[in-house]
Amino acid sequence: MSGFSTLLYKELLRFWKVAFQTIAAPVLTTLLYLLIFSHVMQGRAPVYGEVPYAAFLVPGLVMMAVLQNAFANASSSLIQSKVTGNIIFVLLPPLSYWDFFAAYVLASVVRGMVVGVGVLLVSLGFVGLSFAHPLWILAFALAGSAILGSLGLLAGIWAEKFDQVAAFQSFLIMPLTFLSGVFYSIHSLPAFWQGLSQFNPFFYIIDGFRYGFFGVSDINPAVSLVIALANLLVFTAVSLALLKRGYKLRH
């Protein structure tokens, strides 16, 4: 077993041991969104011509759960370790900064995927859904969770206190997810907000993810994927550079 696989295993074990809180709770929350929004919005015009609103909503909610949980996993693990001081257990061994990055991000991807699959399965009990292009679904789920995993890692590296991670979550992650088209197609927005949404990387992730289900999207999914991967590349590069310097980890 290499240092990397041990760190990955430890990160997986960490959220698995509290699965009720890290998996069951977000699945339930998302389900509540689904029930309430699809009820309130009942009778609203179908999206993309013939997709019922409830069906349109599900992929958005699944992706939202994937993104938020991937972010929460890396950021909460790191800030907990930093605040309690047990971060030294991973700083003392000969783990490279690549090992460190890959283990935290991969564990976040797994957590995001597990929650996402959970939300999807439960939703299928309420809403009928098509799966037009499963590979696109998978590609965007992986890209989205990896992006948020690396963002979570960045937040965890930067923060010194729990409330700083919470601020990162409330003032950056939440607005970006809510304004990314989870609950609506951006074509229903006024022109100004449509234009602004194009600068939100989460918009492309959700739009492309939806394409996987319905075969229709606001943006060409290949373009969306390239934009998502470019984002991932940037966050990866920044994370690795910070880890290499030991920024806020090695004083």
Partner 1 sequence: MTPAIQIQQVHKRFGAVQALGGIDLEVAPGEFFGLLGPNGAGKTTLINILAGLALADSGSVRVLGHDVVTEYRASRRALGVVPQELVFDPFFSVRETLRIQSGYFGLKHNDAWIDEVMHHLDLTSKAGANMRSLSGGMKRRVLVAQALVHKPPVIVLDEPTAGVDVELRQGLWEFVRGLNRDGHTIVLTTHYLEEAEALCGRIAMLKQGRIVALDTTSKLLNRRDSLYLRLRLAGAALPAALAGRVRDSRDALHTLRLRSYAEVEGVLAQVREAGAQIEEMELLQPDLEDVFVQIMKEAQG
Choosing from 19, 21, 35, 93, the residue that interacts with partner 1 (CB under 8 A) is 93
Across-strand partners of 47?
51
Residue 215 host element (H or E): none
Q: Which stretch, 14-22, 137-145, 147-155, 230-238, contacts partner 1 (CB under 8 A)? A: 14-22
Q: Supply the angle between the helices 25-40 and 97-124 in degrees, to the nearest 10.
A: 50
Contact yes or no for 38/127 (Cβ under 8 A): yes
Q: Which is nearer to partner 1, 39 or 250 (CB)?
A: 250
Closest listed residue to residue 241, CA positions, set 145, 144, 146, 150: 150
Rule CB under 8 A: choose which of 9, 98, 131, 193 binds partner 1: 9
Which of 40, 88, 167, 241 forms a contact with partner 1 (CB under 8 A)?
88
Interface with partner 1, residue 91, by CB under 8 A = yes
Selected binder of partner 1 within 21, 42, 96, 198 (CB under 8 A) = 96
Site membership for partner 1, residue 7 (CB under 8 A): yes
**Choices 56-64, 88-96, 182-190, 199-207 (CB under 8 A): range interacting with partner 1:** 88-96
Q: How far is the CB of 10 from partner 1 (least distance, A)?
A: 5
Task: Between 28 and 91, name the residue whose CB sits nearer to partner 1.
Answer: 91
Three-state helix/strand/coil letters over 27-53: HHHHHHHHHHHHHHCCCCCCECCCECH
Give the interface segment with partner 1, choosing from 85-93, 180-188, 193-201, 231-239 (CB under 8 A): 85-93
Note whether 187 and 194 are within 8 A (CB). Answer: yes
Who's near 247: CB < 8 A, 6+ residues apart? 157
- Which listed residue (40, 46, 89, 175) binds partner 1 by CB under 8 A? 89
Q: Residue with structure tokens 């997709």?
A: 51
Choices 25-33, 92-100, 176-184, 208-216; region in contact with partner 1 by CB under 8 A: 92-100
Q: Which of 1, 45, 135, 191 binds partner 1 (CB under 8 A)?
A: 1
Q: Which of 49, 85, 125, 190 binds partner 1 (CB under 8 A)?
A: 85
Which helix (H) or strand (E) segment holds residue 161: the answer is none
The answer to the question of residue 86 lying near partner 1 (CB under 8 A) is yes
**Residue-wise DSSP of 45-105:** PPBTTTB-HHHHHHHHHHHHHHHHHHHHHHHHHHHHHHHHSTTHHHHSS---HHHHHHHHH
| Positions in the binding site for partner 1 (CB under 8 A) | 1-3, 5-7, 9-10, 13-14, 17-18, 81, 84-86, 88-96, 246, 250-251
